[in-house]
């Protein structure tokens, strides 16, 4: 059996003539929390859906050494998924939906469910149709995190949640779910929110994985350099990426070993690094 | 199997309203019919018994010795007639949204990312679309028959077996149409994202028009698609002709008409079952190859 949960090789996905995923190679190990960062339309959701076999693609995707097509629906006993749209069936009541997932999923963990239910304050007898967007997201999270699956794929999981529950979800709930035998992939635009919990980061740009790195190692390899307003050319000469101008000073990202005299150095955030790697424009 | 039962239970829940509404409609119709009877009785001073006596005294050319059995057989058939028609429409409607409604309601990805095989998932939808209307037809038919008993029984005495024979013959005749039409619309729901049955109908019309053009311009033999379809759907297609059946002159004639051979054990019925199975399997196969949006 493979040491990695996922092995993706030469993954390509076309929507008609549009090349949505380009030659993606990716390994997802065990016990990792991985961030998937990219602009709108970069291919994050397409990648996650391909990993679940929900889309047709070219290339190989293996889960624990087995082609996901061979696993078929059994894959969903191992991998839980929250899509980026609120896709829960609103024709049911909350308790009916819980009953459905509980009955159909062999990895349902009742104790985990009870804990999460207590935190979520979901009204069990209410029709899902009558829940707010945030409550629907909570219900989806509750259903998904009550499963003892090896992998958890989250595509914008905190959409519609209020700040308090978002914090609780990212700091506590996700932490309770996570273990050395599990891995989580989080695709999000709110990178600052998840930055603290991520161990690895994948930058995806125009359908290509342009970086897959350990977060700490990445942050240790670059610095956010700040310099006075009249010294922009020095930044450019040093090869700084993503040069911006705020409050009379120029800022840019430079490799850790590049020194500019009199400059201020700070540890970059993932958002800075992402912009530095993708060029900071829409092209 | 367990997953299939859970899926089935879920599908019954999400179709609860679609299944209950026709039952409410039939109850309203029954209540109105009873109300109409009492209003008629009150206004004319005549009772149902008087009317029946007048009818029975008239010379129908029928053998009145057979009349009670004949009456109960036709009553059994009659109580299902409207219900059957509505249930065929319900089955068509349920099946034409069986596989595409989730996409419309944006919950397809939720169901498709559950650990249940697409065959079980689609099979459950199909079963609800075909057998839930059948169950309603049987239940409402029986209920209607029970309702008719107090009105007819004092006149001619209740005949249990003929009434059930008529009832289930009628149910089975409707079911055969329901099976083919339901399965065809199930296939349509796998192909088209919305308004599936209408789109499939348009497709057939387009193909038919092409055949007509080909026939008149290229002298290609005419293919009558709708003719074939109607023959396939029509449960009476292979019924053996029985003389005197139109006037219900003879009980033997009626029973020959409603024989097991006519209703169940014939090539046309087998063809209907096989074509329905082909429509179902093709539908699931097409659906399983589709991407989830």
> Where are the domains positioned within chain A?
6-206, 222-278
Which of B6, B115, B291 minimises the CB distance to A77?
B115
CB A49 within 8 A of CB A213: no
Confidence of residue A173 (pLDDT cuts 50, 70, 90): confident
How large is the average pLDDT for residues A42-51?
Answer: 95
Q: Percentages helix, strand, coil for chain B, rounded to the nearest 5?
A: 80, 0, 20
Number of domains in chain B: 1
Which of A77, A89, A96 minimises the CB distance to B110?
A89
Q: Express each pLDDT in B207-236 by its tens digit.
A: 999 999 999 898 888 889 999 999 999 888
Q: Does A238 touch chain B (CB under 8 A)?
A: no
End-to-end CA distance of chain B: 28
Model confidence at A90: pLDDT above 60: yes
How many C-beta neighbours within 10 Å does residue B218 have? 7
CATH number attached to the domain at A6-206: 3.40.50.300
Residue of A nearest to B14 (CA): A91
- The alpha-carbon gap from A45 to the nearest alpha carbon of chain B, in Å, equals 10
Q: Say if the Cβ atoms of B14 and A54 lie within 8 Å.
A: no
So what's the architecture of A222-278 in CATH? 2-Layer Sandwich (3.30)
Q: Say if the Cβ atoms of B105 and A91 lie within 8 Å.
A: yes
Q: Say if the Cβ atoms of A105 and B114 lie within 8 Å.
A: yes
Using a CB-CB cut-off of 8 Å, the residues of chain B touching A74 are 115
The pLDDT value recorded for residue B51 is 63
Model confidence at A77: pLDDT above 90: yes
Q: Say if the Cβ atoms of B113 and A105 lie within 8 Å.
A: no
Model confidence at A240: pLDDT above 50: yes
Model confidence at B52: pLDDT above 80: no
The residue among B36, B144, B27 whose CA lies nearest residue B81 is B144
Q: Say if the Cβ atoms of B107 and A77 lie within 8 Å.
A: no
CB A87 within 8 A of CB B109: yes
Q: Does A104 touch chain B (CB under 8 A)?
A: yes
What is the four-CA torsion angle of B229, B235, B237, B242, rounded to 10 degrees? -170
Using a CB-CB cut-off of 8 Å, the residues of chain B touching A80 are 113
Mean pLDDT of chain A: 90
How large is the average pLDDT for residues B63-79?
Answer: 81
Q: Which residue has the tokens 């199997």?
A: B1
Model confidence at B246: pLDDT above 60: no
Sign of the C-alpha dihedral, residues A124, A128, A134, A139? Answer: positive
Q: Express each pLDDT in A106-137 by its tens digit.
A: 999 999 999 989 888 899 999 999 998 888 88
Spatial distance between the Cα atoms of B29 and B202, rounded to a whole number of angstroms:
34
The pLDDT value recorded for residue B1 is 59
3-state secondary structure B6-60: HHHHHHHHHCHHHHHHHHHHHHHHHHHHHHHHHHHHHHHCCCHHHHHHHHHHCCC
Q: Which residues contact B59 (CB under 8 A, 6 or more apart)?
A: none
Which of B102, B113, B118 minimises the CB distance to A52?
B113
- DSSP secondary structure string for all residues of A236-249: HHTT-EEEEEETTE
Domain range for B143 is 2-289
Q: Which residues contact A135 (CB under 8 A, 6 or more apart)?
A: A122
How large is the average pLDDT for residues B144-149?
Answer: 93
Spatial distance between the Cα atoms of A112 and A123, rounded to a whole number of angstroms:
18
The pLDDT value recorded for residue B131 is 97
Model confidence at A213: pLDDT above 80: yes
Q: Express each pLDDT in B180-208 by its tens digit.
A: 999 999 999 999 998 999 999 999 999 99
Which of A49, A91, A100 minimises the CB distance to B292?
A49
End-to-end CA distance of chain A: 41
Q: Does A129 touch chain B (CB under 8 A)?
A: no
The pLDDT value recorded for residue A282 is 45
Spatial distance between the Cα atoms of A277 and A204, rounded to a whole number of angstroms:
10
Using a CB-CB cut-off of 8 Å, the residues of chain B touching A89 are 14, 102, 105, 107, 110-111
Q: Is A233 exposed, middle or buried (0-12, 13-18, 19+ CB in 10 A)?
A: exposed
Using a CB-CB cut-off of 8 Å, the residues of chain B touching A141 are none
Confidence of residue B10 (pLDDT cuts 50, 70, 90): very high
What are phi and psi for residue A174, nearest 5 degrees?
-65, -35
The pLDDT value recorded for residue B58 is 57
Using a CB-CB cut-off of 8 Å, the residues of chain B touching A106 are 115
Two structure tokens written together for B167? 């009832």
Spatial distance between the Cα atoms of A81 and A140, rounded to a whole number of angstroms:
9
Q: Say if the Cβ atoms of A101 and B114 lie within 8 Å.
A: yes
Q: Say if the Cβ atoms of A88 and B7 lie within 8 Å.
A: no
Using a CB-CB cut-off of 8 Å, the residues of chain A touching B290 are none
Q: Does A70 touch chain B (CB under 8 A)?
A: no
Which of A49, A77, A89 minimises the CB distance to B107?
A89
Complex ipTM over 0.95 = no
């Amino acid at each position: 059996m493979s040491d990695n949960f996922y092995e993706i090789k030469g993954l390509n996905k076309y929507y008609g003539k549009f090349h949505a995923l380009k030659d993606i190679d990716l390994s997802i190990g065990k016990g990792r929390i991985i961030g998937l960062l990219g602009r709108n339309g970069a291919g994050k959701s397409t990648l996650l859906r391909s990993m679940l076999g929900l889309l047709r693609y070219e290339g190989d995707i293996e889960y624990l050494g087995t082609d996901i097509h061979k696993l078929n629906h059994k894959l969903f006993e191992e991998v839980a998924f929250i899509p980026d749209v609120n896709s829960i069936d609103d024709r049911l009541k909350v308790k009916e939906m819980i009953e459905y997932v509980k009955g159909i999923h062999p990895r349902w963990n009742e104790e985990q469910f009870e804990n999460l239910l207590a935190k979520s304050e979901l009204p069990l007898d209410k029709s899902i149709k009558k829940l707010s967007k945030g409550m629907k997201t909570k219900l989806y999270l509750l259903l998904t995190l009550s499963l003892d699956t090896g992998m958890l794929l989250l595509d914008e999981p905190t959409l519609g949640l209020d700040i308090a529950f978002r914090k609780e979800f990212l700091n506590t709930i996700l932490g309770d779910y996570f273990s050395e035998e599990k891995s989580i992939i989080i695709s999000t635009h709110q990178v600052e929110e998840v930055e603290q919990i991520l161990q690895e980061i994948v930058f995806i740009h125009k359908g290509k994985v342009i970086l897959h790195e350990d977060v700490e190692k990445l942050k240790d390899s670059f610095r956010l350099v700040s310099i006075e307003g009249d010294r922009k050319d020095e930044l450019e000469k040093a090869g700084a990426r993503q040069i911006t101008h705020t409050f009379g000073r120029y800022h840019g990202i430079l490799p850790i070993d590049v020194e500019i005299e009199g400059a201020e150095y700070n540890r970059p955030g993932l958002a800075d690094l992402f912009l530095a790697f993708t060029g900071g424009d829409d092209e | 199997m367990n997953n299939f039962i859970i899926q089935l239970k879920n599908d019954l829940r999400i179709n609860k309203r679609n299944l209950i509404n026709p039952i409410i409609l039939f109850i309203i119709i029954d209540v109105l019919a009873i109300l109409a009877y009492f209003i008629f009785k009150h206004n004319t001073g005549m009772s149902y018994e008087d009317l029946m006596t007048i009818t029975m005294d008239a010379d129908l050319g029928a053998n009145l010795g057979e009349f009670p059995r004949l009456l109960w057989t036709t009553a059994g058939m009659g109580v299902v007639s409207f219900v059957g028609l509505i249930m065929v429409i319900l089955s068509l409607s349920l099946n034409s949204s069986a596989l595409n409604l989730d996409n419309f309601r944006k919950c397809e990805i939720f169901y498709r990312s559950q650990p249940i095989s697409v065959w079980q998932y689609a099979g459950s939808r199909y079963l609800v679309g075909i057998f839930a209307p059948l169950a309603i037809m049987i239940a409402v038919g029986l209920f209607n028959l029970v309702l008719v008993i107090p009105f007819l029984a004092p006149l001619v005495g209740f005949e249990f077996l003929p009434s059930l024979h008529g009832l289930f013959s009628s149910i089975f005749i409707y079911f055969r149409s329901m099976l083919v039409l339901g399965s065809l619309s199930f296939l349509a729901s796998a192909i088209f994202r919305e308004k599936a049955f209408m789109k499939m109908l348009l497709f057939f019309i387009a193909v038919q028009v092409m055949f007509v053009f080909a026939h008149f311009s290229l002298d290609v033999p005419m293919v009558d698609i709708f003719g074939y379809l109607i023959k396939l759907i029509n449960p009476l297609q292979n019924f053996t002709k029985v003389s005197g059946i139109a006037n219900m002159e003879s009980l033997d004639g009626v029973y020959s008409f409603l024989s097991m051979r006519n209703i169940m054990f014939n090539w046309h019925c087998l063809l209907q079952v096989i074509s329905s199975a082909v429509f179902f399997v093709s539908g699931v196969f097409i659906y399983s190859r589709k991407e989830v949006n």
